[in-house]
Amino acid sequence: MKRKVVLTCAVTGDGPIHPKFPDYPKSPAQIAAACLEAAAAGASVVHIHGRDPQTGLGDRSPAVFAEIVRRVRAENKNIVINLTTGMGATFVPDPANEAMAHPTTDVANAEDRVRHVLENRPEICTLDVTTMNLEGGIAGAPDCIFMNTPGTLSRMAALTRARTTSLTATCTIWPPAPPARPKVSTACRTCSATASWATWAMNRWRFTNNPCPASSGR
């Protein structure tokens, strides 16, 4: 029996755009086109983040996601749409005083982080069960913390499951350093018991023996 494989394509994240890639999709039309291109290439799932079409910065407003979803579904009704819920979880400490939040901090409550999911009803959405440090450097981005507390995650999961009956929750784990892996595995099993299915995401630095900032552009 052949093994079944599901290909997922994340067409754009919400972080600063690397200057090496000036043609990165920014507008809803461009992001939707990238989704359709991925589907034509064989992807079964497209993982979607929104961006401000003028600045290119991450944008989690429901209107942006609505236009992307509408454009994709108008052309392809078979591709599985996976909307992020990771936006609104970025705490950027002020480099001069880390007790204060930098103006680029974007931390939202559970309701705001899933509002675009509830309004657009995708087939699946992500639920990132992790809090981790993110080193800056790309496009001048400062160091930040990707922050997901257990309470917020539980509330997000409850909201999506209660209000979006056609939704399948995806639990994504980003593995930390080896000593913490048993705890991560426990979290993954716990989340998988309530999620419809789970994935294990691998940080790109795990693919190199030189986990340093210079490897982040690979």
**Structural domain boundaries, residue 78:** 8-201
The span from the CA of 218 to the CA of 206, in Å, is: 12
Query: Quick check: 144 and 92 in contact, CB under 8 A?
Result: yes
Instruction: Give domain status of residue 210, yes or no.
Output: no
Instruction: Give domain status of residue 3, yes or no.
Output: no
The whole-angstrom distance between residue 92's C-alpha and the CA centroid of its chain comes to 17
Residue 140 has φ and ψ, to the nearest 5°, of 75, 15
Domain tally for the chain?
Answer: 1
**pTM assigned to the model:** 0.77
Instruction: Give domain status of residue 84, yes or no.
Output: yes
Instruction: Give domain status of residue 114, yes or no.
Output: yes
- What lies within 8 Å, CB to CB, of 180 at 6+ separation is none
Instruction: Give domain status of residue 59, yes or no.
Output: yes
Instruction: Give domain status of residue 213, yes or no.
Output: no
Strand partners for 206:
none
Query: Quick check: 84 and 54 in contact, CB under 8 A?
Result: no
Along the 218 residues of the chain, how does pLDDT read in single tens digits?
A: 688 888 999 998 887 887 788 888 999 999 999 999 999 999 999 999 999 999 888 999 999 999 999 999 999 999 999 999 999 999 999 989 999 999 889 999 999 999 999 999 998 888 888 888 887 755 566 788 999 999 999 899 889 887 753 445 455 544 444 444 444 444 455 455 555 555 555 444 343 433 333 333 33
Q: Is 17 left (phi over 0), alpha (psi -120 to 50) or beta?
A: beta
Instruction: Give domain status of residue 218, yes or no.
Output: no
Residue 68: CATH number of its domain: 3.20.20.70
Instruction: Give domain status of residue 212, yes or no.
Output: no
